[in-house]
Structure 1
Amino acid sequence: MNSILNQGHEEGPVARAIEKQTAKLPSDTYLWAAVGAMGVSLALQCLRQKHISLFIGQWAAPFLLMGIYNKIVKVEGHD
């Protein structure tokens, strides 16, 4: 397994700075952002704003992915 991992790799200063700032946010912030995006999307669908509704609704998945990444960095740490 050790041969698969790149032990010499280190994160750059930009990644470290981003992780330092996002670590300050609670993990469920991303969950609520995703739920909020779905709620706004539903409201826009009810108002017959189909295109903007689809645009906002697609934000839910990236918010959840950012939350997963944030949780992994908090648990496993970074370089």
Structure 2
Amino acid sequence: MIQYLYIGGGVIALAFVAWLIWFSYRAGKNNASITTAQAATDSANVVTTKAESMAQAQADKPATEDAVLARLDGGTA
């Protein structure tokens, strides 16, 4: 009768170890997914900032040669 108790305890211990391995695997997989998403977000923010800067530079450009020379003389170009 005591053998069944030992076998049951062993099965419970084995099930716990299997669950712990599964849980650790899932946690690591989720962490990798979050890290990848954060890197993609940072990259997208850099690209967006660069595009906004380029659009602003295009909007602020001088329209005539005289305006270019005035900006160069003023030191703002």
Interval containing the TM-score (normalised by the shorter chain): 0.3 to 0.5
With the length of structure 1 as denominator, give the TM-score of the two structures. 0.34
With the length of structure 2 as denominator, give the TM-score of the two structures. 0.35
> Where is the helix percentage greater, Structure 1 or Structure 2?
2
